[in-house]
Structure 1
Amino acid sequence: MKDQTMYIPTLEDMLAARERIAGHVHRTPVLTSRMLNELTGAELFFKCENLQKAGAFKARGASNAVFGLTDEQAAKGVATHSSGNHGTCLSYAAGRRGIPCTVVMPRTAPQAKKDAVRGYGGRVVECEPSTSSREAVFAEVVAETGAEFVHPYNDPRVIAGQGTCSAELIEQVEGLDAVIAPIGGGGMVSGTCLTLSNLAPNVKIYAAEPEQADDAMRSFKAGHIIADDAPDTVADGLKVPLKELTWHFVQRHVTDILTASEAEIVEAMKLIWKRMKIVMEPSSAVPLATILKNRDVFAGQRVGFIITGGNVDLDKLPWN
Protein backbone atom coordinates (compact mmCIF):
# COMPACT_ATOMS: atom_id res chain seq x y z
CA MET A 1 0.00 0.00 0.00
CA LYS A 2 1.24 3.53 -0.81
CA ASP A 3 2.36 5.70 2.12
CA GLN A 4 -0.57 8.09 2.33
CA THR A 5 1.56 10.89 3.82
CA MET A 6 4.31 10.85 1.20
CA TYR A 7 2.74 9.84 -2.11
CA ILE A 8 2.07 12.75 -4.49
CA PRO A 9 -1.18 12.06 -6.40
CA THR A 10 -1.08 12.21 -10.19
CA LEU A 11 -3.50 12.98 -13.01
CA GLU A 12 -4.05 9.22 -13.35
CA ASP A 13 -5.13 9.12 -9.68
CA MET A 14 -7.65 11.91 -10.32
CA LEU A 15 -9.05 10.12 -13.39
CA ALA A 16 -9.31 6.85 -11.43
CA ALA A 17 -11.06 8.74 -8.63
CA ARG A 18 -13.55 10.15 -11.09
CA GLU A 19 -14.55 6.65 -12.19
CA ARG A 20 -14.58 5.30 -8.64
CA ILE A 21 -16.89 7.97 -7.19
CA ALA A 22 -19.18 8.47 -10.19
CA GLY A 23 -22.12 6.66 -8.59
CA HIS A 24 -21.70 8.35 -5.22
CA VAL A 25 -21.44 12.09 -5.96
CA HIS A 26 -23.28 14.68 -8.04
CA ARG A 27 -21.93 16.43 -11.10
CA THR A 28 -22.81 19.80 -9.60
CA PRO A 29 -24.22 22.68 -11.65
CA VAL A 30 -22.50 25.95 -12.59
CA LEU A 31 -24.52 29.13 -11.96
CA THR A 32 -23.94 32.73 -13.03
CA SER A 33 -25.14 36.14 -11.83
CA ARG A 34 -25.29 39.19 -14.07
CA MET A 35 -25.44 41.47 -11.04
CA LEU A 36 -22.32 39.96 -9.47
CA ASN A 37 -20.54 40.16 -12.84
CA GLU A 38 -21.35 43.88 -13.00
CA LEU A 39 -20.29 44.40 -9.40
CA THR A 40 -16.93 42.66 -9.79
CA GLY A 41 -16.12 43.53 -13.40
CA ALA A 42 -15.45 39.85 -14.09
CA GLU A 43 -17.47 36.95 -15.48
CA LEU A 44 -18.00 34.61 -12.54
CA PHE A 45 -18.96 30.96 -12.91
CA PHE A 46 -20.08 29.45 -9.61
CA LYS A 47 -19.39 25.71 -9.28
CA CYS A 48 -22.02 24.77 -6.72
CA GLU A 49 -20.52 22.17 -4.42
CA ASN A 50 -22.99 23.39 -1.80
CA LEU A 51 -25.41 21.20 -3.81
CA GLN A 52 -23.08 18.20 -3.54
CA LYS A 53 -23.92 15.02 -1.61
CA ALA A 54 -23.67 15.78 2.12
CA GLY A 55 -23.58 19.48 1.21
CA ALA A 56 -19.88 19.90 0.43
CA PHE A 57 -17.11 19.18 -2.09
CA LYS A 58 -15.49 16.88 0.48
CA ALA A 59 -17.87 14.10 -0.53
CA ARG A 60 -15.55 13.65 -3.51
CA GLY A 61 -12.33 13.00 -1.61
CA ALA A 62 -14.05 11.04 1.16
CA SER A 63 -15.81 8.76 -1.34
CA ASN A 64 -12.58 8.15 -3.23
CA ALA A 65 -10.78 7.17 -0.02
CA VAL A 66 -13.59 4.92 1.30
CA PHE A 67 -14.30 3.09 -1.94
CA GLY A 68 -10.59 2.66 -2.62
CA LEU A 69 -10.08 0.61 0.57
CA THR A 70 -9.58 -3.14 0.44
CA ASP A 71 -12.26 -5.19 2.18
CA GLU A 72 -9.77 -5.95 4.95
CA GLN A 73 -9.07 -2.25 5.55
CA ALA A 74 -12.74 -1.32 5.33
CA ALA A 75 -13.76 -3.90 7.96
CA LYS A 76 -12.15 -1.79 10.71
CA GLY A 77 -13.90 1.35 9.53
CA VAL A 78 -12.56 4.83 8.96
CA ALA A 79 -11.76 7.74 11.27
CA THR A 80 -10.82 11.38 10.91
CA HIS A 81 -10.68 14.75 12.65
CA SER A 82 -12.77 17.53 11.16
CA SER A 83 -14.47 20.81 11.98
CA GLY A 84 -17.47 19.56 10.06
CA ASN A 85 -17.67 18.97 6.33
CA HIS A 86 -15.01 16.30 5.93
CA GLY A 87 -16.43 14.42 8.90
CA THR A 88 -19.92 14.65 7.47
CA CYS A 89 -18.77 13.52 4.04
CA LEU A 90 -16.66 10.65 5.39
CA SER A 91 -19.68 9.48 7.41
CA TYR A 92 -21.77 9.69 4.22
CA ALA A 93 -19.26 7.63 2.22
CA ALA A 94 -18.78 5.10 5.03
CA GLY A 95 -22.53 4.72 5.27
CA ARG A 96 -22.72 4.02 1.54
CA ARG A 97 -20.18 1.26 2.00
CA GLY A 98 -21.70 0.01 5.25
CA ILE A 99 -18.64 0.50 7.47
CA PRO A 100 -18.12 2.39 10.79
CA CYS A 101 -16.90 6.00 10.91
CA THR A 102 -15.58 8.00 13.90
CA VAL A 103 -15.06 11.77 13.69
CA VAL A 104 -13.12 13.87 16.22
CA MET A 105 -14.69 17.35 16.20
CA PRO A 106 -14.00 20.58 18.11
CA ARG A 107 -16.64 21.13 20.79
CA THR A 108 -17.18 24.57 19.20
CA ALA A 109 -18.04 23.14 15.76
CA PRO A 110 -21.51 24.13 14.52
CA GLN A 111 -24.22 21.89 15.97
CA ALA A 112 -25.62 21.44 12.47
CA LYS A 113 -22.36 19.80 11.40
CA LYS A 114 -22.25 17.50 14.46
CA ASP A 115 -25.84 16.52 13.78
CA ALA A 116 -25.01 15.84 10.12
CA VAL A 117 -22.18 13.44 11.05
CA ARG A 118 -24.51 11.53 13.34
CA GLY A 119 -27.28 11.67 10.75
CA TYR A 120 -25.11 9.69 8.32
CA GLY A 121 -24.30 7.14 11.03
CA GLY A 122 -20.96 8.52 12.18
CA ARG A 123 -19.78 8.68 15.80
CA VAL A 124 -18.67 12.09 17.12
CA VAL A 125 -15.86 12.40 19.71
CA GLU A 126 -15.35 15.99 20.87
CA CYS A 127 -12.02 17.80 21.48
CA GLU A 128 -10.88 21.31 22.34
CA PRO A 129 -10.82 23.83 19.43
CA SER A 130 -7.11 23.61 18.68
CA THR A 131 -4.99 21.58 16.26
CA SER A 132 -2.97 20.08 19.13
CA SER A 133 -6.05 18.86 21.02
CA ARG A 134 -7.63 17.55 17.85
CA GLU A 135 -4.58 15.45 16.98
CA ALA A 136 -4.13 14.12 20.54
CA VAL A 137 -7.73 12.97 20.88
CA PHE A 138 -7.64 11.49 17.41
CA ALA A 139 -4.58 9.39 18.29
CA GLU A 140 -6.61 7.85 21.11
CA VAL A 141 -9.48 7.03 18.74
CA VAL A 142 -7.22 5.26 16.24
CA ALA A 143 -5.51 3.28 19.02
CA GLU A 144 -8.93 2.17 20.25
CA THR A 145 -10.52 1.27 16.90
CA GLY A 146 -7.69 0.44 14.48
CA ALA A 147 -9.68 2.41 11.88
CA GLU A 148 -8.17 3.63 8.61
CA PHE A 149 -7.20 7.29 8.97
CA VAL A 150 -8.58 9.47 6.18
CA HIS A 151 -7.01 12.88 6.71
CA PRO A 152 -9.28 15.82 5.79
CA TYR A 153 -6.77 17.05 3.20
CA ASN A 154 -3.20 15.73 3.67
CA ASP A 155 -4.07 12.48 1.90
CA PRO A 156 -3.45 11.72 -1.80
CA ARG A 157 -6.76 9.84 -2.09
CA VAL A 158 -8.60 12.90 -0.81
CA ILE A 159 -6.69 15.35 -3.03
CA ALA A 160 -7.29 13.16 -6.11
CA GLY A 161 -11.01 13.09 -5.29
CA GLN A 162 -11.19 16.87 -4.85
CA GLY A 163 -9.49 17.26 -8.24
CA THR A 164 -12.60 15.86 -9.93
CA CYS A 165 -14.43 19.12 -9.19
CA SER A 166 -12.27 21.29 -11.44
CA ALA A 167 -12.22 18.51 -14.05
CA GLU A 168 -16.00 18.96 -14.31
CA LEU A 169 -15.72 22.75 -14.21
CA ILE A 170 -13.45 23.04 -17.25
CA GLU A 171 -15.84 20.77 -19.17
CA GLN A 172 -18.82 22.92 -18.16
CA VAL A 173 -17.19 26.33 -18.83
CA GLU A 174 -14.83 26.98 -21.74
CA GLY A 175 -12.08 29.58 -21.79
CA LEU A 176 -11.57 30.17 -18.07
CA ASP A 177 -8.78 32.60 -17.21
CA ALA A 178 -8.70 31.74 -13.51
CA VAL A 179 -10.20 29.57 -10.79
CA ILE A 180 -10.55 30.66 -7.16
CA ALA A 181 -11.38 28.57 -4.10
CA PRO A 182 -11.19 29.02 -0.32
CA ILE A 183 -8.10 27.67 1.44
CA GLY A 184 -7.76 26.20 4.91
CA GLY A 185 -5.79 22.96 4.86
CA GLY A 186 -5.69 23.19 1.08
CA GLY A 187 -7.41 20.00 -0.10
CA MET A 188 -9.65 21.62 -2.69
CA VAL A 189 -6.95 24.03 -3.85
CA SER A 190 -4.49 21.11 -4.17
CA GLY A 191 -6.98 19.05 -6.17
CA THR A 192 -7.57 22.08 -8.39
CA CYS A 193 -3.80 22.46 -8.87
CA LEU A 194 -3.46 18.75 -9.68
CA THR A 195 -6.14 18.85 -12.36
CA LEU A 196 -5.56 22.26 -13.94
CA SER A 197 -1.75 22.03 -14.07
CA ASN A 198 -2.25 18.93 -16.23
CA LEU A 199 -5.43 19.66 -18.21
CA ALA A 200 -5.56 23.48 -18.38
CA PRO A 201 -2.12 24.82 -17.43
CA ASN A 202 -2.88 28.36 -18.64
CA VAL A 203 -5.66 28.82 -16.06
CA LYS A 204 -4.42 30.76 -13.03
CA ILE A 205 -5.26 29.37 -9.58
CA TYR A 206 -6.05 31.72 -6.71
CA ALA A 207 -6.78 30.85 -3.09
CA ALA A 208 -8.90 32.95 -0.73
CA GLU A 209 -8.40 33.09 3.04
CA PRO A 210 -9.71 34.99 6.08
CA GLU A 211 -7.37 37.68 7.43
CA GLN A 212 -7.85 36.19 10.90
CA ALA A 213 -6.68 32.75 9.72
CA ASP A 214 -4.11 33.81 7.13
CA ASP A 215 -1.43 31.18 7.76
CA ALA A 216 -1.58 29.92 4.14
CA MET A 217 -0.96 33.42 2.80
CA ARG A 218 1.94 33.92 5.23
CA SER A 219 3.32 30.49 4.31
CA PHE A 220 3.07 31.36 0.61
CA LYS A 221 5.03 34.58 1.11
CA ALA A 222 7.60 32.99 3.46
CA GLY A 223 8.23 29.93 1.29
CA HIS A 224 7.58 27.43 4.08
CA ILE A 225 4.60 26.23 6.15
CA ILE A 226 3.51 28.53 8.98
CA ALA A 227 0.83 26.94 11.17
CA ASP A 228 -1.55 28.71 13.57
CA ASP A 229 -2.84 26.47 16.34
CA ALA A 230 -6.30 27.95 16.95
CA PRO A 231 -7.25 30.89 14.70
CA ASP A 232 -10.64 32.54 15.21
CA THR A 233 -12.80 33.29 12.16
CA VAL A 234 -16.43 33.10 11.07
CA ALA A 235 -15.18 30.84 8.24
CA ASP A 236 -15.07 27.76 10.49
CA GLY A 237 -14.00 25.44 7.66
CA LEU A 238 -10.75 27.38 7.09
CA LYS A 239 -9.11 27.19 10.51
CA VAL A 240 -6.67 24.35 9.81
CA PRO A 241 -3.08 24.73 8.56
CA LEU A 242 -1.44 23.49 5.37
CA LYS A 243 0.39 20.16 5.54
CA GLU A 244 3.17 18.62 3.46
CA LEU A 245 1.06 17.29 0.57
CA THR A 246 -1.08 20.37 0.14
CA TRP A 247 1.96 22.64 0.48
CA HIS A 248 3.56 20.69 -2.39
CA PHE A 249 0.75 21.83 -4.72
CA VAL A 250 0.23 25.32 -3.30
CA GLN A 251 3.85 26.42 -3.59
CA ARG A 252 4.19 25.08 -7.15
CA HIS A 253 0.91 26.03 -8.80
CA VAL A 254 -0.98 28.78 -6.94
CA THR A 255 -0.69 32.27 -8.47
CA ASP A 256 -1.58 34.15 -5.28
CA ILE A 257 -3.41 33.86 -1.95
CA LEU A 258 -5.76 36.75 -1.20
CA THR A 259 -7.37 37.61 2.15
CA ALA A 260 -10.54 39.29 3.40
CA SER A 261 -11.73 40.63 6.75
CA GLU A 262 -14.52 39.10 8.82
CA ALA A 263 -16.90 41.92 7.87
CA GLU A 264 -16.06 41.51 4.17
CA ILE A 265 -16.69 37.76 4.36
CA VAL A 266 -20.09 38.20 6.01
CA GLU A 267 -21.12 40.88 3.48
CA ALA A 268 -20.09 38.62 0.58
CA MET A 269 -22.07 35.74 2.08
CA LYS A 270 -25.16 37.93 2.42
CA LEU A 271 -24.72 39.12 -1.17
CA ILE A 272 -24.71 35.59 -2.58
CA TRP A 273 -27.66 34.48 -0.44
CA LYS A 274 -29.60 37.57 -1.47
CA ARG A 275 -28.77 37.74 -5.18
CA MET A 276 -28.30 34.07 -6.12
CA LYS A 277 -30.84 32.55 -3.69
CA ILE A 278 -28.46 29.76 -2.70
CA VAL A 279 -27.38 28.62 0.75
CA MET A 280 -23.65 28.61 1.29
CA GLU A 281 -21.46 28.72 4.37
CA PRO A 282 -19.10 31.53 5.41
CA SER A 283 -16.00 29.69 4.14
CA SER A 284 -17.53 29.64 0.65
CA ALA A 285 -18.00 33.43 0.67
CA VAL A 286 -14.30 34.21 1.17
CA PRO A 287 -13.47 34.08 -2.57
CA LEU A 288 -16.15 36.66 -3.43
CA ALA A 289 -14.93 38.88 -0.60
CA THR A 290 -11.39 38.76 -2.01
CA ILE A 291 -12.57 39.36 -5.60
CA LEU A 292 -14.51 42.44 -4.49
CA LYS A 293 -11.41 43.63 -2.63
CA ASN A 294 -9.09 42.98 -5.60
CA ARG A 295 -11.25 43.95 -8.61
CA ASP A 296 -8.20 44.94 -10.65
CA VAL A 297 -6.81 41.38 -10.42
CA PHE A 298 -9.92 39.80 -11.94
CA ALA A 299 -11.38 42.57 -14.12
CA GLY A 300 -12.40 41.38 -17.59
CA GLN A 301 -11.59 37.73 -16.81
CA ARG A 302 -13.65 34.54 -16.88
CA VAL A 303 -13.31 33.20 -13.35
CA GLY A 304 -14.37 29.81 -12.01
CA PHE A 305 -15.50 30.16 -8.40
CA ILE A 306 -15.82 27.00 -6.31
CA ILE A 307 -18.61 27.31 -3.72
CA THR A 308 -17.24 24.66 -1.41
CA GLY A 309 -20.18 23.93 0.90
CA GLY A 310 -23.62 24.80 2.18
CA ASN A 311 -23.72 23.30 5.66
CA VAL A 312 -24.81 26.26 7.76
CA ASP A 313 -26.18 26.40 11.29
CA LEU A 314 -29.36 28.32 10.52
CA ASP A 315 -29.78 29.25 14.17
CA LYS A 316 -26.40 31.02 14.18
CA LEU A 317 -26.16 32.97 10.94
CA PRO A 318 -23.19 35.37 11.12
CA TRP A 319 -25.24 38.51 10.49
CA ASN A 320 -27.67 37.83 13.36
Structure 2
Amino acid sequence: MGGAVVCFWLLGVVLYLARTPPRRIDCGRDDAPGAHLVCLVTRHGGFGAGVATTVALGIVVVSALLTVWCAPAVLNLLSGAWPDVPPLRWWARRRVEAHRELRRKLVEAMGPATNDVLAMRRAAAASVARRHYPKGSTTLQPTRIGNALAATEQRVEERHGLDLELCWRPLVQVVDQTARTRLETASSLIVARTQAVPFAAGLLLWTPLLPTWWARGAYAVGCLLLVLLACRAVAGAVDAYCDAAEDTFLVHRAGLYRALGFPLPTTTQHERNQGRDLSKYLAKRSMSPVTFDWPDPPLLQPPTAPGQT
Protein backbone atom coordinates (compact mmCIF):
# COMPACT_ATOMS: atom_id res chain seq x y z
CA MET A 1 0.00 0.00 0.00
CA GLY A 2 2.95 2.32 0.57
CA GLY A 3 3.76 2.12 -3.14
CA ALA A 4 0.21 3.16 -4.04
CA VAL A 5 0.44 6.18 -1.73
CA VAL A 6 3.72 7.30 -3.27
CA CYS A 7 2.36 6.84 -6.81
CA PHE A 8 -0.76 8.83 -5.91
CA TRP A 9 1.18 11.88 -4.72
CA LEU A 10 3.84 11.50 -7.40
CA LEU A 11 1.16 11.66 -10.08
CA GLY A 12 -0.19 14.87 -8.54
CA VAL A 13 3.28 16.43 -8.50
CA VAL A 14 3.94 15.42 -12.12
CA LEU A 15 0.61 16.87 -13.30
CA TYR A 16 1.24 20.09 -11.38
CA LEU A 17 4.73 20.51 -12.82
CA ALA A 18 3.48 19.70 -16.32
CA ARG A 19 0.85 22.42 -16.00
CA THR A 20 3.25 25.00 -14.55
CA PRO A 21 6.06 25.86 -17.01
CA PRO A 22 9.54 26.12 -15.47
CA ARG A 23 10.74 29.67 -14.79
CA ARG A 24 13.40 31.46 -12.85
CA ILE A 25 12.29 32.52 -9.36
CA ASP A 26 13.35 35.88 -7.96
CA CYS A 27 12.95 35.60 -4.20
CA GLY A 28 13.08 39.37 -3.85
CA ARG A 29 10.18 40.27 -6.14
CA ASP A 30 8.18 37.10 -6.98
CA ASP A 31 4.79 37.10 -5.24
CA ALA A 32 3.53 33.69 -6.43
CA PRO A 33 2.59 31.28 -3.57
CA GLY A 34 4.84 28.56 -4.98
CA ALA A 35 7.74 30.99 -5.15
CA HIS A 36 7.37 31.88 -1.47
CA LEU A 37 7.54 28.18 -0.55
CA VAL A 38 10.62 27.54 -2.69
CA CYS A 39 12.37 30.61 -1.32
CA LEU A 40 11.53 29.64 2.25
CA VAL A 41 13.10 26.21 1.75
CA THR A 42 16.21 27.46 -0.05
CA ARG A 43 16.75 30.29 2.43
CA HIS A 44 17.39 27.78 5.24
CA GLY A 45 19.63 25.51 3.20
CA GLY A 46 19.91 21.92 4.39
CA PHE A 47 17.57 22.53 7.32
CA GLY A 48 14.84 23.79 5.00
CA ALA A 49 15.29 20.81 2.68
CA GLY A 50 15.10 18.46 5.66
CA VAL A 51 11.89 20.06 6.92
CA ALA A 52 10.35 19.89 3.45
CA THR A 53 11.29 16.21 3.15
CA THR A 54 9.85 15.47 6.59
CA VAL A 55 6.59 17.21 5.71
CA ALA A 56 6.36 15.26 2.45
CA LEU A 57 6.95 11.95 4.24
CA GLY A 58 4.40 12.94 6.88
CA ILE A 59 1.79 13.57 4.20
CA VAL A 60 2.49 10.14 2.68
CA VAL A 61 2.27 8.39 6.07
CA VAL A 62 -0.94 10.19 7.06
CA SER A 63 -2.47 9.29 3.70
CA ALA A 64 -1.63 5.63 4.25
CA LEU A 65 -3.06 5.70 7.78
CA LEU A 66 -6.27 7.35 6.56
CA THR A 67 -6.64 4.65 3.94
CA VAL A 68 -6.23 1.91 6.54
CA TRP A 69 -8.69 3.67 8.83
CA CYS A 70 -11.40 4.06 6.20
CA ALA A 71 -11.02 0.55 4.70
CA PRO A 72 -13.74 -1.03 6.94
CA ALA A 73 -16.19 1.73 6.01
CA VAL A 74 -15.41 1.25 2.31
CA LEU A 75 -15.97 -2.51 2.63
CA ASN A 76 -19.29 -1.90 4.39
CA LEU A 77 -20.41 0.34 1.53
CA LEU A 78 -19.35 -2.27 -1.03
CA SER A 79 -21.33 -4.91 0.86
CA GLY A 80 -24.52 -2.84 0.62
CA ALA A 81 -24.64 -1.34 4.12
CA TRP A 82 -25.84 2.04 2.85
CA PRO A 83 -27.42 4.91 4.81
CA ASP A 84 -31.21 4.67 5.04
CA VAL A 85 -32.13 7.66 2.88
CA PRO A 86 -34.78 7.72 0.09
CA PRO A 87 -32.40 7.96 -2.91
CA LEU A 88 -30.26 5.07 -1.67
CA ARG A 89 -33.32 2.99 -0.80
CA TRP A 90 -34.54 3.44 -4.37
CA TRP A 91 -31.12 2.55 -5.76
CA ALA A 92 -30.88 -0.51 -3.48
CA ARG A 93 -34.22 -1.80 -4.78
CA ARG A 94 -33.01 -1.33 -8.36
CA ARG A 95 -29.81 -3.21 -7.64
CA VAL A 96 -31.66 -6.06 -5.89
CA GLU A 97 -33.90 -6.47 -8.94
CA ALA A 98 -30.84 -6.47 -11.21
CA HIS A 99 -29.17 -9.18 -9.12
CA ARG A 100 -32.41 -11.21 -9.08
CA GLU A 101 -32.45 -11.13 -12.88
CA LEU A 102 -28.76 -12.04 -13.04
CA ARG A 103 -29.33 -14.97 -10.68
CA ARG A 104 -32.18 -16.19 -12.88
CA LYS A 105 -29.95 -16.07 -15.96
CA LEU A 106 -27.22 -17.99 -14.12
CA VAL A 107 -29.70 -20.72 -13.18
CA GLU A 108 -30.81 -20.97 -16.81
CA ALA A 109 -27.19 -21.08 -18.00
CA MET A 110 -26.44 -24.02 -15.71
CA GLY A 111 -28.97 -26.08 -17.71
CA PRO A 112 -28.83 -29.83 -18.40
CA ALA A 113 -25.54 -31.53 -19.24
CA THR A 114 -24.62 -31.76 -22.94
CA ASN A 115 -21.73 -33.11 -24.97
CA ASP A 116 -20.74 -29.59 -26.11
CA VAL A 117 -17.48 -28.76 -24.33
CA LEU A 118 -18.04 -25.02 -24.63
CA ALA A 119 -21.57 -25.31 -23.21
CA MET A 120 -20.26 -27.44 -20.36
CA ARG A 121 -17.68 -24.79 -19.51
CA ARG A 122 -20.34 -22.07 -19.55
CA ALA A 123 -22.55 -24.18 -17.29
CA ALA A 124 -19.66 -24.78 -14.89
CA ALA A 125 -18.84 -21.05 -14.76
CA ALA A 126 -22.53 -20.24 -14.17
CA SER A 127 -22.66 -22.81 -11.36
CA VAL A 128 -19.66 -21.21 -9.65
CA ALA A 129 -21.18 -17.73 -9.97
CA ARG A 130 -24.56 -19.01 -8.74
CA ARG A 131 -22.94 -20.23 -5.50
CA HIS A 132 -22.34 -16.62 -4.54
CA TYR A 133 -26.05 -15.78 -4.58
CA PRO A 134 -28.38 -16.70 -1.70
CA LYS A 135 -31.64 -18.55 -2.22
CA GLY A 136 -34.97 -16.78 -1.93
CA SER A 137 -36.03 -13.21 -2.61
CA THR A 138 -35.79 -11.65 0.85
CA THR A 139 -32.10 -12.49 1.28
CA LEU A 140 -30.86 -10.83 -1.91
CA GLN A 141 -28.52 -7.88 -1.36
CA PRO A 142 -27.90 -4.83 -3.58
CA THR A 143 -24.21 -5.64 -4.20
CA ARG A 144 -22.21 -8.64 -5.34
CA ILE A 145 -20.19 -8.67 -2.11
CA GLY A 146 -23.30 -8.56 0.05
CA ASN A 147 -24.80 -11.48 -1.87
CA ALA A 148 -21.62 -13.56 -1.51
CA LEU A 149 -21.62 -13.02 2.26
CA ALA A 150 -25.35 -13.78 2.53
CA ALA A 151 -25.00 -16.95 0.43
CA THR A 152 -22.16 -18.27 2.59
CA GLU A 153 -24.04 -17.57 5.80
CA GLN A 154 -27.16 -19.22 4.37
CA ARG A 155 -25.35 -22.41 3.26
CA VAL A 156 -23.58 -22.81 6.60
CA GLU A 157 -26.89 -22.50 8.44
CA GLU A 158 -28.76 -24.86 6.08
CA ARG A 159 -26.04 -27.51 6.09
CA HIS A 160 -24.83 -27.39 9.69
CA GLY A 161 -27.45 -25.37 11.58
CA LEU A 162 -24.67 -23.03 12.73
CA ASP A 163 -24.93 -19.25 12.83
CA LEU A 164 -21.79 -18.10 11.01
CA GLU A 165 -21.56 -14.76 12.79
CA LEU A 166 -21.85 -16.33 16.26
CA CYS A 167 -19.65 -19.37 15.63
CA TRP A 168 -16.87 -17.75 13.62
CA ARG A 169 -14.67 -16.45 16.44
CA PRO A 170 -14.58 -19.70 18.47
CA LEU A 171 -14.17 -21.74 15.27
CA VAL A 172 -11.04 -19.81 14.27
CA GLN A 173 -9.51 -20.68 17.65
CA VAL A 174 -9.65 -24.44 16.97
CA VAL A 175 -8.54 -24.66 13.33
CA ASP A 176 -5.08 -25.89 12.38
CA GLN A 177 -2.30 -23.67 11.11
CA THR A 178 -2.95 -24.50 7.44
CA ALA A 179 -6.56 -23.32 7.61
CA ARG A 180 -5.60 -20.26 9.66
CA THR A 181 -2.94 -19.30 7.11
CA ARG A 182 -5.45 -19.63 4.26
CA LEU A 183 -7.96 -17.42 6.07
CA GLU A 184 -5.32 -14.83 6.95
CA THR A 185 -4.09 -14.70 3.35
CA ALA A 186 -7.62 -14.27 2.01
CA SER A 187 -8.39 -11.60 4.61
CA SER A 188 -5.18 -9.68 3.83
CA LEU A 189 -6.08 -9.73 0.14
CA ILE A 190 -9.48 -8.20 0.90
CA VAL A 191 -7.89 -5.45 3.00
CA ALA A 192 -5.26 -4.61 0.37
CA ARG A 193 -7.77 -4.45 -2.46
CA THR A 194 -10.25 -2.45 -0.38
CA GLN A 195 -7.56 0.13 0.38
CA ALA A 196 -6.99 0.53 -3.36
CA VAL A 197 -10.58 1.73 -3.90
CA PRO A 198 -10.25 5.15 -2.17
CA PHE A 199 -6.92 5.73 -3.93
CA ALA A 200 -8.52 5.03 -7.31
CA ALA A 201 -11.33 7.44 -6.43
CA GLY A 202 -8.87 10.00 -5.03
CA LEU A 203 -7.12 10.24 -8.40
CA LEU A 204 -10.08 12.38 -9.49
CA LEU A 205 -8.65 15.15 -7.28
CA TRP A 206 -5.95 15.77 -9.89
CA THR A 207 -8.47 16.30 -12.72
CA PRO A 208 -8.34 20.16 -12.57
CA LEU A 209 -4.57 20.03 -13.13
CA LEU A 210 -5.03 18.87 -16.72
CA PRO A 211 -4.90 21.66 -19.33
CA THR A 212 -7.88 20.98 -21.64
CA TRP A 213 -11.49 19.90 -21.14
CA TRP A 214 -11.14 16.76 -23.25
CA ALA A 215 -8.03 15.71 -21.30
CA ARG A 216 -9.91 16.23 -18.03
CA GLY A 217 -12.87 14.23 -19.34
CA ALA A 218 -10.72 11.33 -20.54
CA TYR A 219 -8.78 11.33 -17.27
CA ALA A 220 -12.01 11.29 -15.21
CA VAL A 221 -13.38 8.38 -17.25
CA GLY A 222 -10.13 6.49 -16.75
CA CYS A 223 -10.29 7.09 -13.00
CA LEU A 224 -13.87 5.82 -12.84
CA LEU A 225 -12.84 2.68 -14.73
CA LEU A 226 -10.06 2.16 -12.19
CA VAL A 227 -12.60 2.48 -9.37
CA LEU A 228 -14.82 -0.11 -11.08
CA LEU A 229 -11.89 -2.51 -11.55
CA ALA A 230 -10.84 -2.01 -7.92
CA CYS A 231 -14.37 -2.81 -6.70
CA ARG A 232 -14.48 -5.95 -8.86
CA ALA A 233 -11.12 -6.99 -7.45
CA VAL A 234 -12.50 -6.61 -3.91
CA ALA A 235 -15.51 -8.74 -4.87
CA GLY A 236 -13.23 -11.47 -6.21
CA ALA A 237 -11.23 -11.46 -2.98
CA VAL A 238 -14.44 -11.68 -0.92
CA ASP A 239 -15.58 -14.67 -3.02
CA ALA A 240 -12.31 -16.45 -2.24
CA TYR A 241 -12.63 -15.63 1.46
CA CYS A 242 -16.21 -16.93 1.57
CA ASP A 243 -15.09 -20.19 -0.03
CA ALA A 244 -12.32 -20.50 2.56
CA ALA A 245 -14.76 -19.79 5.40
CA GLU A 246 -17.23 -22.40 4.15
CA ASP A 247 -14.47 -24.99 3.80
CA THR A 248 -13.37 -24.20 7.36
CA PHE A 249 -16.83 -25.05 8.68
CA LEU A 250 -16.92 -28.24 6.62
CA VAL A 251 -13.59 -29.55 7.89
CA HIS A 252 -13.25 -28.14 11.42
CA ARG A 253 -16.77 -27.95 12.85
CA ALA A 254 -16.13 -31.10 14.92
CA GLY A 255 -13.34 -29.23 16.71
CA LEU A 256 -15.82 -26.45 17.52
CA TYR A 257 -18.20 -28.94 19.14
CA ARG A 258 -15.39 -30.54 21.16
CA ALA A 259 -13.98 -27.21 22.30
CA LEU A 260 -17.39 -26.07 23.58
CA GLY A 261 -18.24 -29.43 25.16
CA PHE A 262 -21.22 -30.18 22.91
CA PRO A 263 -21.86 -33.79 21.84
CA LEU A 264 -20.93 -34.48 18.23
CA PRO A 265 -23.93 -34.86 15.88
CA THR A 266 -24.49 -38.30 14.40
CA THR A 267 -26.77 -37.60 11.41
CA THR A 268 -27.35 -34.72 9.02
CA GLN A 269 -30.71 -33.88 10.59
CA HIS A 270 -29.24 -34.19 14.08
CA GLU A 271 -26.40 -31.89 13.03
CA ARG A 272 -28.76 -29.12 11.98
CA ASN A 273 -30.65 -29.33 15.27
CA GLN A 274 -27.43 -29.56 17.27
CA GLY A 275 -25.98 -26.62 15.37
CA ARG A 276 -28.99 -24.47 16.17
CA ASP A 277 -28.66 -25.38 19.86
CA LEU A 278 -24.98 -24.48 19.81
CA SER A 279 -25.77 -21.14 18.14
CA LYS A 280 -28.41 -20.42 20.78
CA TYR A 281 -25.87 -21.25 23.47
CA LEU A 282 -23.38 -18.76 22.01
CA ALA A 283 -26.12 -16.15 21.65
CA LYS A 284 -27.13 -16.70 25.31
CA ARG A 285 -30.70 -17.51 24.27
CA SER A 286 -33.00 -19.97 26.04
CA MET A 287 -32.59 -23.56 24.89
CA SER A 288 -33.22 -27.09 26.07
CA PRO A 289 -30.60 -28.48 28.47
CA VAL A 290 -27.54 -30.08 26.85
CA THR A 291 -25.24 -32.50 28.64
CA PHE A 292 -21.66 -31.42 28.06
CA ASP A 293 -19.27 -33.98 26.61
CA TRP A 294 -15.80 -32.70 27.46
CA PRO A 295 -12.85 -34.49 25.86
CA ASP A 296 -10.60 -36.40 28.22
CA PRO A 297 -7.42 -34.45 28.98
CA PRO A 298 -4.21 -36.10 27.77
CA LEU A 299 -2.38 -38.20 30.34
CA LEU A 300 0.88 -36.57 31.38
CA GLN A 301 3.73 -39.03 31.83
CA PRO A 302 6.21 -38.25 34.62
CA PRO A 303 9.62 -37.21 33.37
CA THR A 304 12.18 -39.97 33.13
CA ALA A 305 15.32 -39.51 35.18
CA PRO A 306 18.61 -39.50 33.25
CA GLY A 307 20.00 -42.99 32.81
CA GLN A 308 16.61 -44.68 33.34
CA THR A 309 14.60 -46.41 30.66
TM-score band by shorter chain is under 0.3
**TM, length-normalised to structure 1:** 0.23
More helix per residue: 2
More strand by share: 1
What is the TM-score with the length of structure 2 in the denominator? Answer: 0.24
Which structure: larger Rg? 2
